[in-house]
Amino acid sequence: MYACLFRPSAPEPAFELGRVARDYSPRYECHGADAVVLDVSGMTRLFGSPRAMADEMRRDAASRGARVHVAMAATWTAAMLLAHAHVGVSVTLAGDEADAVGALPLASLRVLQTPDFDLEPVSGAWRRWGLRTLGELAKLPPADLVARIGRAGLMWQAMARGEDLRPLVPSLDDERFEATFELDWPVEELEPLSFVLTRLLEPLSTRLERRDRGAAVLHVVLRLVTKEIYARRLELPSPMRDVRTLRTLALLDLESHPAAAAVDRVTVLIDPTPGRVLQHSLFSRALPTPEQLSTLLARLGAVMGQDRVGAPATVDTHRPGAFAVAAFDTDHEEAGASGGRAGAGSPAPGTRRGDHPPRPQPPAAAVASALRRCRQPVPARVAVADGRPVRVTTDRRGFAGGAVVRCAGPWRSSGNWWIDDRHPAWTRDEWDVALSDGAVYRIFQNRETDAWFIDAIVD
């Protein structure tokens, strides 16, 4: 049995129908500020008949300053339609939903539409057909209705009979995940602070688990002995609620950004988000968990600096070897979803799971070469004759030197000369040279300093 409370007048900002609904059932769904549907199954033992329960709800809302319409039915869809259409109290027995809502006009269905389920595309066709009530829509042949306006018409027809297309989705109250601890004496070291953070995070983690939520952002607010407030904000790469991981991340962040004075009060605030649902694959290796990855990145950031840890990203420039460091993030859901696509985790057509598809073989005449770049270019001495390198030598071990047998170039590149000093300019001439001992290098000359370097080895 479901009950719907509808307030026809404009609701006051200070009044919420949810406050009335939660006194009768923990399962209630709010539809805007003027309607709420609640599951009252089994409540007749406390209030007697359904009408007596509906009268009690209406009196309770009136005592709080709200005049509401109350409808009770076996489906929440019928209760919604009847509460918006009838004044006062209406009760519909199980099995009579279609007859109870049949006399309502078609416009009554507007209370059930959502942004993803709009009534406008089909209402025009119904007007041309001469339909006026929900009963007339419910009597149409379903096959002919689907053939003319699609499956959306079949869903609206089910609603016109008072049938539920989905279960009731209970609304959750906005819950604040916050905990504060007043210290008996100030602390300056991170070790005693870790015990305080553990004590605050354990009950918050339990509440998150009960709500099937995870922490998206972790706020650590410290009140210093100087009466100043020192706050840190940690954006987590994935929803998590592991106490040890959250404590470690907070401590590593405070280690990298220490407070200016001792702490006498600690407050932890969590911005919740829906929990993470992860389906692993039987045929691919498991990725590191977000907790492990976040802890590792935090430790590396504390040692190396936050701007020196991340994933390499390309830069909009032609400068050789240029890259940027972007925030490192791994989407486990996309990785798991990719396992169902061909080429990612599904076998190729004509092969069985576990068989390796044959690798394409290059043509016999094709010659492939690889360029192994030196992360730091190797200084070299280059003899030049007639504008071309004729001999290359270097003091670096592992690099050969000798006379140039063949060479190609130069390839000249330059850039960043139009930007400020924070983006250093470059200008260089590149050559590919083959030496007498068989080594093949890519060398370049810095045109500003006339210095030569070995940039890469050609294999």
pLDDT recorded at residue 366? 56
**Is the pLDDT at 191 greater than 50, yes or no?**
yes
**Is the pLDDT at 107 greater than 80, yes or no?**
yes
Higher confidence at residue 84 or residue 354?
Answer: 84
Higher confidence at residue 16 or residue 110?
Answer: 110
* Joined tokens for residue 455: 């940039």
Q: Is the four-CA dihedral 240, 246, 250, 255 of positive or negative sign?
A: negative
3-state secondary structure (DSSP) of residue 328 = coil
Higher confidence at residue 271 or residue 369?
Answer: 271
**Is the pLDDT at 360 greater than 60, yes or no?**
no
d(CA 128, CA 125) in angstroms, rounded, equals 5
Instruction: Write out pLDDT tens, residues 73-86.
Output: 999 999 999 999 88
Structural domains for the chain: 2-160 (3.30.70.270), 177-274 (3.30.1490.100), 371-458 (no CATH)
**Is the pLDDT at 420 greater than 70, yes or no?**
no
Residue 151 CB-density burial (10 A; 0-12 exposed, 13-18 middle, 19+ buried): exposed
d(CA 456, CA 401) in angstroms, rounded, equals 14
**Is the pLDDT at 18 greater than 90, yes or no?**
no
With pLDDT > 70 as the criterion, what percentage of the chain qualifies?
85
Instruction: Write out pLDDT tens, residues 260-316.
Output: 899 999 999 998 888 766 666 777 776 666 667 777 777 777 777 777 777 788 877
pLDDT recorded at residue 32? 80
**Mean pLDDT, range 26-39, rounded to an integer:** 86
* Joined tokens for residue 260: 């200016």
DSSP of 266-279: EEEEEEEEEPP---
How many residues make up the chain in this entry? 459
**pLDDT, averaged across the chain:** 80
**Mean pLDDT, range 107-132, rounded to an integer:** 84
Produce one character per residue of 187-207: b if its CB has 16 or more CB atoms within 10 Å, e if not. Answer: beeeeebeebbeebbeebbee
Higher confidence at residue 74 or residue 371?
Answer: 74
**Mean pLDDT, range 150-167, rounded to an integer:** 88
pTM over 0.85? The answer is no
Least confident range from 126-140, 197-211, 317-331: namely 317-331
